[in-house]
Amino acid sequence: MGTRSSELDQGAMEEASMSDKPDLTEIARFDKTKLKKTETKEKNPLPTKESESVNNFLMTGPKAYLMYASSVQAGAQRGIEECKYQFAWDRWNCPESELQLSTTKGLRRATKETAFVHAISAAGVMYTLTKNCSMGDFDNCGCDDSRTGKIGGRGWIWGGCSDNADFGENISKQFVDALENGHDSRAAVNRHNNEAGRLAIKATMRRSCKCHGVSGSCSVQTCWMQLSDFRDVGNYLKIKYDQAQKLELDQRRMRTGNSAENRGAIADTFSSISRTELIHLEDSPNYCMKNLSLGLHGTEGRECLQGGNNLSQFEKRSCRRLCHECGLKVEEKRIEIACKQFAHDWTKTTRETSFVHAISAAGVMYTLTRNCSLGDLDNCGCDNSRNGKIGGRGWLWGGCSDNVDFGERISKQYVDAFETGQDARAAVNLHNNAAGRLAVKATMKRICRCHGMSESCAMQTCWMQLAEFREVGNYLKVKHDQAHKLEMDKRRMRAGNSADNRGGAIADAFSSIARSELIYLEDSPDYCVKNLSLGLHGTEGRECLQSGKNLSQWEKHSCRRLCHECGLRVEEIRTEIVSSCNCKFHWCCTVKCENCTQVIVKYVCARRQSGQGYNRRRLRGPK
């Protein structure tokens, strides 16, 4: 159970001078349409305090590296999220005030905690760049095949697609280390911790192997090096944080600025420190106490854990660490949560349940296929069954095609296992499951890369790649709108799983239906009206759209569909909110925003007032 003593106070981030901001005119003139779009395997959310704090990564590096900007930003965000996870139940919990990655103007301390921030951020950038490189998202790199074909050990050779950690390390260093251009002790410590973070990626990589031999004898194995889960990197660096070493510099030799004597003292101190260890210069402040000048909020009001299943020893002691040892008491707060009963009857086979079965089966297959191609599963990888064969005029099969056959097979084993009956309902559900999986295949796209002298594209190598899952959803929504109702022969239908039922009426009804179409047995209930016995809440209170930019015709007609055609009126609700606006980035590295008032207009379906006509229009087909 979580406990909380009081609310946290809001802190203020220290503003930096604009005098050190680099000249960005060349970057502004750069034609971004020439950049290759990269898939980072991470969803980039709307800007937050965390994402703003890593934007300074994107301000550095040569113009040629702009193509890696989205991967760098996603990688830095990955590092921040891992930092927050690792320290969630510690006195220092990776607050935004600690996420400034530069020593410019003395903005940064060199404590044990900032050492971890530098290491995990550099590791996150390298990790994402390496992953995207191996996936073929950059034109100038791919798998690391430098050892392919060489004997690795007894009974195995190097092969497959090893993750190109050297590429990720090189580009990460160009971006992250560019923030540390000084020669003083702080900059040297930060660069050292950046490197320790990158070395953590290599230290946690694992060897994956695939067997070869007659009848699965595994007489020889092909092996490759693969990135581990980033959580393993975070755990590794958390241990390094706990063992971090404080540097004791020779104060007599230290001078202000970048003097040779200063650099000599730094070099002598670093000579005995391993490159994989984290180091710091200053003791950590008291994180129990609030200190807004340092951006510290203290532990008062922080949540801690006292009981619960599957808690680690560290989590179980969080109340002692955050409260008792900081002179605070633990206060229990109970929050009442009202759960609404959801009693929708999924045994019905309506047009809507057909879509649910299809999209669920498609989602399972999609995720399995994607994870297979990423190498996250030991028993599968890319589909290279057609590699080297001519696909068409001027192109042949190659690259890493997504292995949809694997995803389809495993999805079928899991999802279809829920349908154990042999009656009409089970047959319809199995059909719609299969239609969902076929939708994943139908929306796949062919991706090609040119080969030839001076980019002549005399020959192309192509592979099949999963589309965005939104495209699968759009495809199945069309199938939902066109779904077929099966008309079963009632005279031949019998209760249970009789042979006449299985082989006769069901088979005849299915004979004219394409495998890619959705089917159902029963008409949909009236979704306008509340019916709790069916788990339906009606459309009263539902929000609809009347105006706005980039609305589709379907969205523009939502008020008519949800309100007017259900005998309800449209009610306008205006809400005034205060939000951050006119945010400006100050070099380096804070963001200052103003507070702006905005009126939000929403439209909801409401009951008609007395005296208003009730002219409800009944529609056939999907609501």
201-205, 216-220, 446-450, 577-581: the lowest-pLDDT one: 216-220
Helices (H) and strands (E) counted in the chain, each on its own, are 18, 21
**Which one is predicted more confidently, 498 or 103?**
498
Nearest to 165 by CA among 192, 140, 128: 128
Crossing angle, helix 165-176 and helix 112-134, to 10 degrees?
Answer: 130
Predicted local confidence at residue 503, as pLDDT: 55
Phi, psi of 195 (to 5 degrees): -65, -40
Q: Which residues of 514-547 are buried (b: 16+ CB within 10 A; e: fewer)?
A: eebebbbbeeebebbeeeeeeebebbbebebbbe
pLDDT at position 501, please? 54
φ, ψ of residue 117 in degrees (nearest 5): -60, -45
Paired residues of 156 in beta bridges: 153, 221
**pLDDT grade, residue 509 (50/70/90)?**
confident
- Other beta carbons within 10 angstroms of residue 54's beta carbon come to 24
Contact 597, 571 (CB under 8 A): no
Residue 499 tokens, joined: 């042979």
| SS3 per residue for 437-494 | HHHHHHCCEEEEEEECHHHCCCEEEEEEECCCHHHHHHHHHHHHHCCEECCCCCCCCC
- Domain positions in the chain are 49-140+160-206+227-284, 351-523, 537-606
pLDDT at 448: 87
Could you tell me the pLDDT band of residue 336, with boundaries at 50, 70 and 90?
low
The pLDDT of residue 49 is above 80: no
User: How many Cβ atoms sit within 10 Å of the Cβ of residue 351?
Assistant: 22
The reply to whether CATH 3.40.50.2000 applies to domain 537-606 is no
3-state SS, residue 536? strand
pLDDT at 498: 55
* Mean pLDDT rounded to a whole number for the chain: 77
Q: How far is CA 238 from the centre of its chain?
A: 22
Q: Which has more confidence, 367 or 180?
A: 367
DSSP states of 310-352 as a string? T--HHHHTHHHHHTGGGT----------PPPP----TTS--HH
10 Å Cβ neighbour count for 602? 13
pLDDT at 577 over 50: yes
